[in-house]
Amino acid sequence: MTFKEANKISIKGYLANRRILPSKEMAYYGMYYCPFREDNNPSMKVDYVKNIWFDHGTGMGGTLIDLVMKLEQCSEYDAIMALEKEQYSFDFFSFQGNTLATSTEFSIKKIQPLQNKALLDYVCIERKISVEIAKRYLQEIYYSVKDKSYFSIAFKNDVGGYELRNAYFKNCVAPKEITTIRNSNETNVGCLVFEGFMDFLSYQTLKKQIEPIESDVIILNSTSLVNHVIEMLPAYKQISCFLDNDNAGCQALGSLQKKYGHLILNQSIHFREYNDLNDFLCGKKMKQKKS
């Protein structure tokens, strides 16, 4: 493996293979707790497009090889040898930060009801979602990338695309769009707005033994899609928002409040010490999120 080839391996994939996941993720970059030093805030940025990293706490950054050298305290040669040895583990992750369906090397093999033990363990044990609820709303997808086979959970959106998740990555199958779930035929009932489907499943898990959801539900699947719901909301008398307690979540909430004012109920205050509703379900406060 050459220096150039090694640096084509996705930094996001390299970190995910070590169960180091972003604390916050946008379309083209992720913010991580720095893995090679004590870090109380996610201060290491990984640019998915340029495939470079930068630690704001130390001012250091660079390529994947630079990161491996820093993590392993090794030479450039040893870093390349380590990456070459593990290259098979990273092949898929060169697609991270992109939409899978845009790749000509991506092919869906099958989509079926959720039953894979590894995926159920991830959703129901690691993320603490009720098995009944997971099986009701999620599917499992089998696909290939570069002639290699993979599988993950799949959550369908309104236009036939899917949000994909497993223990090591998240991505989507285009087209990316919001997901709406109609629970009432009436147009004036309340509406619940969630940032991601795992937040929605967490809400369902938390409310399961209390009462069924009668309100309609909208899952943004990304805060960048908040404008897609703006014109859908006038029919509702009350709009309860369960968005993340971070900058992106606050900005999305602000957009909705600007448009609908007092109709918007900020439910995120009920889990203000947690980044999102699933972290609340799992008992992971923000200060405990360091990898």
pLDDT higher than 70, residue 103: no
Boundary-marking domain end, from 95, 130, 146? 95
pLDDT higher than 60, residue 195: yes
What local confidence, expressed as pLDDT, does residue 49 receive?
A: 82
What local confidence, expressed as pLDDT, does residue 101 receive?
A: 52
| DSSP 3-state of 225 | helix
pLDDT digits (tens, 9 = 90+) for 43-67: 999 998 888 999 999 999 999 999 9
Percent of the chain with pLDDT over 70: 88
- How many domains, in total, are found in the chain? 3
| 48 and 80 within one domain | yes
Boundary-marking domain end, from 122, 140, 173? 173
Taken in order 143, 144, 148, 150, the sign of the CA dihedral is negative
How would you label 224-242 residue by residue, b for 16+ Cβ within 10 Å and e otherwise?
A: ebbeebeeebeebeebbbb
pTM: 0.67
| 187 and 142 within one domain | no
**Structural domain range at position 196:** 179-288
